[in-house]
Amino acid sequence: MSLKDLQAIIDSGTKLTPMMDQYFQIKKNYPDTLLLFRMGDFYEVFFEDAKTAARLLNITLTHRGKIGDTPIPMAGIPHHAASVYIDRITNRGLKVAICEQIEDPKDAVGIVKRGVTQVVSPGMPFDLEKTQGHDHRYMASAFKKDNCYYLVALDFTTGDFNGYKHENFESFIEGLRMLAPREFVTFMGQWDGDEGKDVESILNHYDVLKTHLSEEYFNPKFTDLYIEKVIPGFKRDKIIKLDELILNPIGALAYYVCSTQLLESFIHIRPFKMNSQANIMKVTLPTLVGLEILPKSRESYKDSLLGFFDKTETAMGARYLRSLFANPLFNQDSISERLDIISALTDDDSLIKDLRVELSKIRDIERILAKISMSKGSASDLLNLATAVNAYTEILKNVKNLPIKAVLAPAEIKKLSVLAESIKATLNDEVGASLEKGNLIKEGVDKSRDRLAKLHLNVAEELMKMETRLKDETGIQKLRIKSNNVSGFFIEISKGSATKVPKSFERRQTLVNAERYTTPELVQLEKETITAQTKLEKLEREIFKGLINNVSDLNHSVLTMSEHIAFIDSFQGLASIALSEGFTRPKFHSDKQILNIKQGFHPLIKSLIKDQFVCHDLNLDEKTYFGLITGPNMAGKTTVMREVAIIQLLAQIGSFVPAKSADLSLCDFLFSRLGASDDILKGQSTFMVEMAETAEILRHASSKSLIILDEVGRGTSTYDGLSIAWGLVEHFIEQTKALTLFATHYHELIEVVENYSTAKNLTVETVNHNGNVQFLYRLIEKPASQSFGIYVAKLAGLPASVLKRSEEILHLLEKNHHNPMEGHQLTVKAVKDNQNTQLCFLDDIVIDAEIPAHLLHLEEEISKLDVMKMTPIDALLKLNDLKKHLELQ
Ligand SMILES: Nc1ncnc2c1ncn2[C@@H]1O[C@H](COP(=O)(O)OP(=O)(O)OP(=O)(O)O)[C@@H](O)[C@H]1O
Ligand SMILES: [Mg+2]
């Protein structure tokens, strides 16, 4: 039953129960969410929501009551396990509204008051503990005006808040892809025609949850109240004043956040930062994914280069490292500053060790602050924060002599330390300490709390003490303090001692042999005891709240500290990897075009195969800036190209690079087209994506760029592909004049390149020993002589019949090769006619099926040998064995 149907039933005069009426009134305001309605220890879901929840969560669908004659579908989830269920629903792209009881049921007159306290969505998870540390979860919003695209992104879980202005649609789309937001706030009709389709396909591709607001929310006149909440004092912000249109998407996003998170303030949201593209080397998302720097999907982080480089100890550091990779610098001074830090760190590896020890103590401060902001901060969060502050002060001592800028004034650091001390001095860090047990606050912090705690825990002892004192004071040895459920606490004195009872005792009850009295002191003790537990809990909560407020007051310092930790952590990480993998400091030349790498290597492959990796030397400069790499399949062409791009990118991040030496120029744009990427944008074919990306390179590349192209034109017919590749080579050499590496299997291009003095042929060395190709992987300044494609196909296990036939066809094709026109006329008939003629271009290649079994056995035996572990005698004996085995055949 939909909300509309329900409304119709109500309009027709059917009465709802008060509880259902309350549900309906609340649900009306949250039509596009799944509403969890708190009922005691359960969250209950009704009507259509119940069916959806039952299906998504695999829970029972039952009924609660009826509306008219129709039973109301209901499903329930226990409150204590809610986070698991809620995350499962939001991971499916739905929003969940959490409706709580907002008054104590004991105080309720009639039905308990309820209200929605939080809307959980992919960008605003319920349980921050479970969100991936190294990843951002952005919510984005955008606004277009006069061909300018204003994009804002807020990570509500860490407080990261950024704005971007893009001057054209292409750059805006690139920005959006780079952010990979979880949610996008927009209004209908904002994008027209093709732009709409592109935005839509990106959002669909990344499974982004869209929220449509009406257009007025994109007008800051109507949203300034909300903006003020996320950017306090925004009207005085000079950067925002420079381009006030950024307020349009900020307003919409601010409204969205404020309407879904019912909080007084958002202490964890960082000051809004407008990002400029000026000092950034541009690098596109396909480049980063093609280089395997950024993971293809969120799950494969560990296998990506970013995962490999991530030697950070904190979640903030890991997130910052990612932003370093996505925003390499185009400013030599800033790069040098970073390189200086890494140099200083690599000079002193014990310093790195010390830093890592301290950093490892630090938890995700940004998410702690987000939890505090959402009133979900726990005592252990505060204790973790205190530990982080203490570790930070140690870190500051460690980095004192490094060229790292201070970000907090000593007075601010002092305040943080005082806060940390008071947290440590106040909160009990023993396991089992909790507000409910009344032992969260340490003894000695607050006198009233201690008295209450004592009363609560030691009522008997208190009474005993009072009894002894009263006995002494009155001289009545049989005086007893007792209690029961009816009369509470009382002093019981036998009738015989009645004369000694002081006047201050008030008679309560007369029994046969005894009288019962009370005193103001006892009344007080009783009252305190009975209410001690509630009072204790309340007082402890107040003290805890006080600490939370102290943290909130220092939120800016905490955020700045966290940013500084992220910075230091990511640089110690870069220094660690530089040391462990043998990287060097790159040298930049501002006055010339240069890419001179000695003994460069691909960091990930080298770390896997160690010394078996063959390092590369490469030299391009302003005289010869174009390198055409030809060479057989599997020879290592793509690896060299990836390696070069990685070296340039790392250098412009301000990191050391995988090489013995690297002389580089500052590049404005790094383009690389490696591998097929039809999955990046749905709805475009592999070849279409390849051409679109190549077109983008041609539009944006300048002589200051670095261009890495792998087998462009491969995805279409041979002659089309060759023509495109040929045209591109000429264009890059004659027009673009950027440092370029172009790998291809079109050997026709070797001759093209030979005609230019500014270009050279390169190949990755291979040798052919009697049909067995050996890959040497060395990069040399020579053109390739052969392709060995069929040989590689054989290695890969293609059946012998196919291999044989391929060789025949290849031979025919090669015969026609020198005259392209003839090549065109090579018909299927001609190829058919030549079937079964023995035309082996690689005569020496023996097809698997023809290798006799005993030779295969021999091959297997030899390949099993670990020669390095054999003595000469072992070797001779083994050789003898093998020989005997052969003789037996
Ligand atoms: N320098 C090297 N040292 C050792 N092994 C290497 C080296 N370069 C590449 N390899 C190995 O060779 C494999 C193939 O390399 P790569 O993909 O770069 O070849 P390719 O020439 O691009 O082949 P194709 O033409 O089929 O694309 C790599 O996966 C790696 O295992
Ligand atoms: Mg390749």
Closest CA to 311 of 562, 132, 568: 568
**How far apart are the CA of 613 and the centre of ligand 2, in A?**
16
How many Å lie between the centroid of ligand 1 and the Cα of residue 764? 9
Q: How far is the CA of 745 from the centre of ligand 2 (A)?
A: 9
Q: What total number of domains does the chain contain? A: 7
CA 673 – CA 291 distance, rounded (Å): 9
867 lies in which domain range?
853-887
pLDDT of residue 820: 44
Strand order across the 514-518 sheet: 480-484, 488-494, 514-518, 506-510
Q: Are residues 28 and 113 in the same domain?
A: yes
CA 673 / ligand 2 centre spacing (Å) = 11
Residue 291 lies in a domain: no
Alpha carbons 33 and 45: distance in angstroms, whole number:
11
Q: Tell me the C-alpha distance between 124 and 569, whole Å.
A: 26
Report if residue 700 sits inside a domain: yes
Query: Residue 320 pLDDT more than 60?
Result: yes
Do 723 and 625 lie in a common domain? yes
> How many whole angstroms separate alpha carbon 202 and alpha carbon 231?
29
Of the three residues 733, 750, 784, the one that is the final residue of a domain is: 784
Q: Is 79 within 8 Å of 41 (Cβ atoms)?
A: yes
User: What's the gap in Å between 632 CA and the centre of ligand 1?
Assistant: 10
Residues 6 or more apart whose Cβ sits within 8 Å of residue 296: 289, 304
CATH number of the structural domain spanning residue 554: 1.10.1420.10
Report yes or no: 87 and 130 within 8 Å, Cβ to Cβ. Answer: yes
**Co-location of 323 and 235 in the same domain:** no
State the average pLDDT over residues 573-595.
96
CATH number for position 59: 3.40.1170.10
Alpha helices in 58-95 (DSSP H): 82-91
SS3 719: helix
Identify the bridge partners of residue 261 per DSSP, sorted by sequence position: 118
State pLDDT tens for residues 649-703: 999 999 999 999 999 999 999 998 886 544 444 456 677 777 878 888 888 899 9
Protein residue whose Cα sits closest to atom 18 of ligand 1: 636
Pocket test for ligand 1, best of 639, 641, 791 (most atoms within 8 A of CB): 639
Asked if residues 708 and 291 have their Cβ atoms less than 8 Å apart, the reply is no
Q: Provide the pLDDT confidence category of residue 299 given band limits of 50, 70 and 90.
A: low
User: Residues 809-830: pLDDT tens digits?
Assistant: 777 777 766 444 444 455 666 6
Residue 639 CA: nearest ligand 1 atom is 18
User: Is beta strand 138-145 parallel, antiparallel or unpaired with respect to 183-186?
Assistant: parallel
The ligand whose atoms approach the alpha carbon of 616 most closely is 1
Burial class (CB in 10 A: 0-12, 13-18, 19+), 683: exposed
CATH number, domain of 657, equals: 3.40.50.300
Cα-to-centroid distance, 292 and ligand 1 (Å): 15
Spatial distance between the Cα atoms of 286 and 205, rounded to a whole number of angstroms? 14
Could you tell me if residue 286 is inside a domain?
no
Q: Indicate if 154 and 261 belong to the same structural domain.
A: yes
CATH at 258: 3.30.420.110
Atom number of ligand 1 nearest to Cα 602: 1
Domain boundary among 532, 567, 602: 532
Burial 269-290 (b: 16+ CB within 10 A, else e): bbebebeeeeebbbbbbbbbbb
Q: Do 617 and 752 reside in the same domain of the chain?
A: yes
End position of a domain, from candidates 756, 784, 812? 784
Tens digits of residue pLDDT in 138-179: 999 999 998 899 999 999 999 999 999 998 898 899 899 889
Residue bearing the CA closest to ligand 1, atom 27: 633
Q: Are residues 370 and 346 in the same domain?
A: yes
- With contact defined as beta carbons under 8 Å apart, do 710 and 673 qualify? yes
Nearest CA to ligand 1 atom 3: 613
Distance 634 CA to ligand 2 centre (A): 7
Lining ligand 1 with CB less than 6 A are: 605, 612-614, 631, 633-639, 777
* Protein residue whose Cα sits closest to atom 30 of ligand 1: 636
pLDDT in tens, 519-570: 998 888 887 777 777 788 889 999 999 999 999 999 999 999 999 999 999 9
Task: Please state, rounded to an integer, the average pLDDT across all residues of the chain.
Answer: 87
- Which ligand has its closest atom nearest to the C-alpha of 792? 1
In angstroms, what CA-CA distances link 770 with 565, 763, 844? 59, 21, 6
For ligand 1, atom 5: residue with the closest CA: 613
* For residue 838, pLDDT beyond 60: no
